[in-house]
């Protein structure tokens, strides 16, 4: 094998390894940016309260919600709950830094009730999206 051919193959292999390494480093950042809501569908409501907000999305009969703090940072108690009328609520409750949820329920054409909490602040709706 000629030295020129060997050098070209080595250069190509080095370029591929470098490109895959850069993609591996950049992918988590772009996935995290796209993961801000993690709910599919269109945003139908934002419920704001003193320490955060609950974003509500709807798609093909499914309702999804996520609670976001106003100031992300240290771990604190966060909660999000979505309940379709006649069904049990789906709840994500714990200590988080960036968000609680997403939680999704199949509501069909039923009304839903949404609750959210960050620290001492909270919000709750009546039956909405009927």
Domain boundaries, the chain: 1-35, 37-124
Please name the fold of domain 37-124: Immunoglobulin-like (2.60.40)
Token pair, residue 36, equals 């801000």
Nearest Cα residue to 99 out of 124, 121, 122, 79: 79
The answer to whether 117 touches 67, Cβ cutoff 8 Å, is yes
Other Cβ atoms less than 10 A from the Cβ of 28: the count is: 10
- What distance lies between CA 34 and its chain's CA centroid? 8
pLDDT for 30: 32
Residue 101 to residue 104: CA distance in whole angstroms: 9
- CB half-sphere exposure, 77, CA atoms < 13 A: 5
Per-position pLDDT tens, the chain of length 130: 666 766 666 665 555 445 454 444 344 433 333 345 689 999 999 999 999 999 999 999 999 999 999 999 999 999 999 999 999 999 999 999 999 999 999 999 999 999 999 999 999 999 999 8
**Paired tokens of 41:** 């569908």
Q: What pLDDT shows up at residue 70? A: 95
pLDDT of residue 103: 97
What is the pLDDT at residue 51?
95
């Amino acid at each position: 094998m000629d030295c020129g051919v060997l050098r070209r193959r080595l250069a190509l292999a080095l370029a591929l390894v470098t490109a895959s390494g850069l993609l591996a480093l950049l992918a988590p950042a772009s996935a995290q940016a796209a993961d801000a809501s993690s709910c599919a569908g269109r945003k139908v409501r934002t419920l704001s309260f003193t320490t955060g907000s609950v974003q509500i999305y709807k798609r093909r009969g499914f309702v999804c919600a996520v609670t976001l703090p106003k100031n992300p940072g240290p771990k604190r108690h966060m909660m999000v709950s979505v309940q379709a009328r006649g069904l049990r609520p789906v709840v994500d409750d714990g200590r988080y830094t960036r968000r609680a949820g997403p939680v999704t329920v199949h509501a069909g054409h039923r009304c839903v009730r949404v609750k959210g909490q960050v620290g001492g602040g909270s919000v709750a709706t009546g039956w909405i999206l009927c």
